Structure 1
Amino acid sequence: MGLGGSDWVGFEPVQRLGIKTLSSLLLLTFMNPSRRP
């Protein structure tokens, strides 16, 4: 009864934070083409 209850409550914020970080990195990469390898 703990699969989907407490696990997701703590995992959802982490997933959202990761998505925000990836989006920010992608935006920075597109805004600064000189930083691309």
Structure 2
Amino acid sequence: MDTLKKHLPGSGQEGLHELQNMAQRFEEKIFTAATSQ
């Protein structure tokens, strides 16, 4: 999470919220790929 924060152009709560959304979408893609095999 800290590594991603360093590369995120936005700051504050809005940037953190976007980062959390990105992480959630990534987790969903990984979960879907893992369970569909």
TM-score normalized by the length of structure 1: 0.64
Aligned Cα RMSD in Å?
A: 0.8
Cα separation, 2, equivalents of 1:27 and 1:9: 27
Relative contact order: is structure 1 or structure 2 higher (C-alpha 8 Å, sep ≥ 6)?
Answer: 2
Kindly, what percent of the aligned residue pairs are identical?
Answer: 0
Moved over 4 A (4+): none
TM-score normalised by length of structure 2: 0.64
Consecutive unaligned residues of structure 2, counting only runs of 5 or more, are 1-10
